[in-house]
Every structure is written in C-alpha cells, then in structure tokens.
Amino acid sequence: MGKPIKLCLVYRDMWQSSGKYLPRVDQLTKVAPAIIDMGCFARVETNGGGFEQINLLFGENPNRAVREWTQPFNDAGIQTQMLERGLNGIRMSPVPADVRKLMFAVKKKQGTDIARSFDGLNNPQNLENSFRFAKEGGMIAQGALSLTVSPLHTVDYYVNLASSYIELGAEEICIKDMAGIGRPVSIGKIIAGIKKNHPTILVQYHGHSTPGFSVASSLEAARAGADIIDVGMEPLSWGTGHADLLTIHAMLKDAGFDVPDFNRKAYMEVRRLTQEFIDDFLGYYINPRNRSMNSLLIGPGLPGGMMGSLMADLENNLKSVNKWKKKNNQPELTQEDLLIKLFDEVEYVWPKMGYPPLVTPFSQYVKNVSLMNVIQMEKGKKRFSMIDENTWGMLMGRSGQLLGPLGEEIQDLVKEQQREFYKGKPQDLYPDELDKYKAEMDANGWDYGQDDEELLELAMHPAQYKEYKSGKAKEQFLADLAKRKEAKATSSAATSTAVVPVAAPAFAKPKHITVDVNGEKFKVAISYDDATTDTSSNAALTTPAPTPSSTGNSSYRTIDAPLEGKFYLTKESNDQALQVGDEVKEGETIAYIEAMKVINAIAADKSGKIVEIVARHGEDIEEDEVMFKII
C-alpha cells in the first residue's frame, strides 16, 4: 500500500477562476449531495475569496449561502475550507483587526472548518492575526505561501517562509500556486524542505492549470510529501482553473499512491449540474478564453483567479482605446493585440514595482498599472501617468515590505509627488471600527443577525451590503443579466440566417423584461448603448444634467476623464469636494474614478478656475467625457 493522498475539490475557486460569478445558494445546495456521493473528497473549498461579495452583488444574503452550502458537508464529515486574504480579510482592501477577528468566529459558526490565509506580499506580520484569530474562533489555521517565480523568490525563501508561518501559529501549510507558473521540480524541493524541517506539518498543494505545469507539479508535490492535492472537475477544470480530478486521480494511482476511489456516476451528476448552472445564467459571465490554457502566461504570471474579471475589463478597455484611435484616424486594436501588449507590459512593470507576488489584490495592482500604461502609451502619453492610490499604498509600504527595490521611474515619481515610505506595522493604519458599524446598524434598525453575521457583512463590505439591503444590487444584477441575454439572443438570431439582418428600429427593442428568480418575478428596465435607442420611457429615471454656470465667457477649457468608471469628487465622505470658483493646479488631484476594482486619483492636466462641474458624483463616466470646465 502506497502513501495515502487526500483530495480537495475547490468548487468555489473553479467558478471564480472561470468568470465573474458563482452559483446561487439554491444551486449550491442542489450540487452538494452529488459532491458528497463521489466519496473521494476529504475537503471541499466552499467559500471565502469573493464568495460573500458575489452573493451581495446578486442581491442575496451571503450568510444564508454559507450556512446552507456548508451544512451538507458538515453532516457528511467532509471538512470545509475558505480562502481569506490576511490583512484584507475577504475583501480587496485592509480590514480593522476587530472585524477580522469577528470574521473567523462567524465563519466557524456558519460551518467553515479551515481558514486558508495568505498575504499578498507573503508578509508574516500580516498573517499573525489570521492564525491567532482562526484558532481562537475554532478553525484550523492554514498558512498559504503565494508562489511566484523571480530571482528573489527562491526555494530557500519559501522553505524559510513556511517556518516563519509555523512559528506564528500556522497549523498547516498550503503551496498556493495561483498562476500555475511554479516549476514542478522547484515545488517538490519546497515541499521536501518544509517536511524536513517540520515532519508532522500537513502540506496541501493548490495549483492552477493556466500555463500547463499543474499536472507535473501535483505529481512532484505528492512525491515530495504533500498530504492533500486540490483538484477541479469538468466542465470547469483546466484553463485558468485547476487540473481535473480524473487526471490527477489516475496519475497518482499509477505512481503508487493510495488514493480514495470515487463514484463515477456521482462525478457525472456533478458535471451535469455544473453545466446546468452555466446554461442557466453563469455562462453569460464566462469568457471562452478562460477555458483554455495559455503558455504565454508563464512570463507575466497573472493568476487564474483574476483572469475571469480581466477579460471583462479588457472588453471595456478595448472599446475605449479603439474609440480614441478611430477619432484620431489610427488603426484599431483587436482583443488579442491588447492582451499581448498587456502581458508584455506586466513583465516590464512587475520588477519595477518590487516583485510583489501576483496574487489578490497585488496582481490587480500590477495588472491595472500595466493596463493603464498600455492605454496611455497607445495615446502617446508616458508610462506610470496613472497609478491609483491603492497601488501607491503598496509601493509605499502600507501593506508591508516589498521583497525587491522600486525601479528608478517609480522612485522619481515618489520624489516628485513627495510621498513618504511607511515602515510601521500595516494593521496599525486601520484602527478598530466595529462600534461604528454597530451604531450604523442601530440607526437603521437593522438586526445584527445570528452570531453577529449581518454586522460582519456591513463592516466587511459596507457599500455592497447597503446596496443589497436597499434592493438596488438585485435590480442592477437582473438588469445586467437581462441585457446579456437579450444581446446573446440578438447575436444568435443574426448568425442563424444567411441574410444580412437589418437593424431593428429603436422602438422594437424591449424597454422592460420580466425575470423569474426562484418563483419571484422582477420587472427589469433595459438600457442600450446605441445612440439611436428611444429612451424617453426612462426619462423619469435620469438625473437632469447640471446647469452650466453663467460665466459670460464661452472660451472655457475642459478637463476630461482619462478612463471610464464611476466618478467621485471625494474619496471619503468627510473630504472637502471641489466647487465652482475653486482654483486648480496642473498635477493636483481633483477627483477619483473607480475602475478595475481600485480607486484612481485623477490629476488636473491643466490649471485654471472651475466654472462648471459637469460629471456627477457617484455616477458612471466614459473616457474622454468632460469632468470639469475651467477658465
């Protein structure tokens, strides 16, 4: 009998690595019994990462989702695990310590057994609280090494990092190969080194398939002493996801390992149900490119979990770039052109940003800077002319020490903008806030929920939770889904006939559609991007445009939006917003645009006095639209 190897199904991550969303709670509870019947999984990754935020975006209660989804596995004796981001908890930005502590207590009571904690910079300092809070809450504390390949991220570096995590309280170690770029032999050496230093520590290997190494890496991990291998399954295995159970199972069995047998009939049922969820609505949010492996990603090393949202971002950015190119009589780009330019730019930018491991949220930071560089250079502007404030926080040490030095170009910007490096403990920058959120819950008459779980949601995801409570989140999601379904139906109709279709008149397009969700009907308004659509029926929903100031001078100049997104005059509610009559100077921050999951500080590209604020706070703005008029 060979060495026993356990398997973990990363069902949550399978979806997040493929597209924007994951199944609703009714779908998750439908597939759970079949996953259990497969009989081969010691663990299932049920939640964490973007799970709670996605439910809020659906307009659904994430606490109900976690409890009902984990319960069948709890009853069957299968361990459940979640992914959490250390200082960032289960969101993209830092979380106060008291909120982090509450999170672990709540998630254990909801049915989650294991907290897989990682830090985007592999900073042990940021994970000390995670390990302590997890154990205090009754969870198993697993420390994840965010794997990447650089001159600084050596085998010895990772072996020593694992020891640091264990000294701080980690009870297990995960090799988190989020981009699948870890070289198989090196992964084996890392695990062997950890096992040599800590023979009894459990090691779990998690590798995405993206560039094609994951099968060989899984075998090397097992041979080196890994105890558990994470797997995916069809129809969401491979691509930016994970190696399929069938492949890993057969390979390990052939190599002489003791692998639990599985029920093939149950496997086919999970496969069928997963496809059913894709056909129902989730397929509208999965880019086909994410279902294919791509060895070009060996260079940039972008992670599988980010590729789902990246392709959606590229669609919007491509439209924006080509709109500018068309206006300036330049040849347009294809999505493939933009993607390759982005990959090349990531390879250029990453070392200059200090080699942060390309994992959430820092993979988004590197990708966003790279993408903005590509867009700005396509328009004849300089690199690094758009760096958002979250990225600056990382560069200045507010998330911990970077492993490598900053490049000269960024160091010059630091001096030019008179920024200061932070050398303290990152958690100290984010004081406790639970009392503030309790007061807000009380003021709104909202119940704290079972085990304070509703309080946790407000404190962890304030904006999304409020939109969920108001019903706005569900309306927006259903409207977006209806629009995607209508677009696909139109596209299918166009390709099913040999006759070139004539564009339908604006009045033929539906203004509303009724969507049935679990027996509950919602009437959803549909908007269209084309200028010919008659929108008079929606006039009552449109905020009137601001009235221009009477300046007596029509020779104003404009400050235009450098990218599309949601426009804000201030970043914090207590900040002072610019007003008509204020003077602005070139290079001074005058507004913010939220795009690609980060807040971008927008600097004035010219000096003058504001005579009109055209953009509206909290509303969407297109690239090159006027934000301010100045004289």
8 A C-beta contact, residue 623 and residue 372: no
User: What is the model's pLDDT at position 320?
Assistant: 77
Q: How far is CA 509 from the centre of its chain?
A: 33
Distance CA 138, CA 606 (A): 56
List of domains in the chain? 6-291 (3.20.20.70), 295-428 (1.10.472), 433-470 (no CATH), 472-496+504-541 (no CATH), 557-630 (2.40.50.100)
Q: What is the pLDDT of residues 527-561, one digit of tens each?
A: 544 433 333 333 333 333 444 444 445 688 999 88
Distance CA 547, CA 476 (A): 28
Of residues 496 and 425, the one with the higher pLDDT is 425
Only one residue has tokens 């820092």, namely 362
Q: What is the pLDDT of residues 45-78, one digit of tens each?
A: 999 988 999 999 999 999 999 999 999 999 999 9
Distance CA 346, CA 527 (A): 35
Q: How far is CA 494 from CA 288, 444, 500, 505, in A?
A: 20, 49, 8, 15
User: What is the model's pLDDT at position 535?
Assistant: 34
8 A C-beta contact, residue 3 and residue 258: yes
Look at residue 165 and tell me whether its pLDDT is greater than 50: yes
Of residues 154 and 360, the one with the higher pLDDT is 154
Query: b/e per residue, 541-568, with b = 16+ CB within 10 A?
Result: eeeeeeeeeeeeeeebeebbbbbbbebb
Look at residue 512 and tell me whether its pLDDT is greater than 60: no
228-231 and 202-207 strand pairing: parallel
Of residues 224 and 494, the one with the higher pLDDT is 224
Q: Which amino acid is at 87?
A: L
Q: What is the pLDDT of residues 186-197, one digit of tens each?
A: 999 999 999 999
Residue 511: pLDDT band with limits 50, 70, 90 = very low
Q: What is the pLDDT of residues 121-151, one digit of tens each?
A: 999 999 999 999 999 999 999 999 999 999 9
Residue 107: pLDDT band with limits 50, 70, 90 = very high
Q: Give one word for 506, left, alpha or beta, with left for phi > 0 and alpha for psi -120 to 50.
A: alpha
User: What is the model's pLDDT at position 533?
Assistant: 37
Only one residue has tokens 């008149």, namely 505
620-621 and 565-568 strand pairing: antiparallel
User: What is the model's pLDDT at position 514?
Assistant: 56
Looking at residue 81, the DSSP 8-state letter turns out to be E
Only one residue has tokens 């390309």, namely 358
8 A C-beta contact, residue 114 and residue 142: yes
Given strand 626-630, what is the order of strands in its sheet?
Answer: 557-560, 626-630, 608-613, 583-584
Q: Among candidates 146, 289, 304, 81, which has minimal Cα distance to 213?
A: 304
Residue 485 contacts by C-beta under 8 Å, 6 or more apart in sequence? 284
Mean pLDDT of 88-96: 92
Count of CB atoms within 10 A of residue 30's CB?
14
Q: Which amino acid is at 352?
A: K
Residue 306: pLDDT band with limits 50, 70, 90 = low
Taking the CA of residue 413 as centre, how many other CA atoms within 13 Å lie in the half-sphere pointing to its CB? 17
User: What is the model's pLDDT at position 223?
Assistant: 98
pTM of the model: 0.80
8 A C-beta contact, residue 402 and residue 121: yes
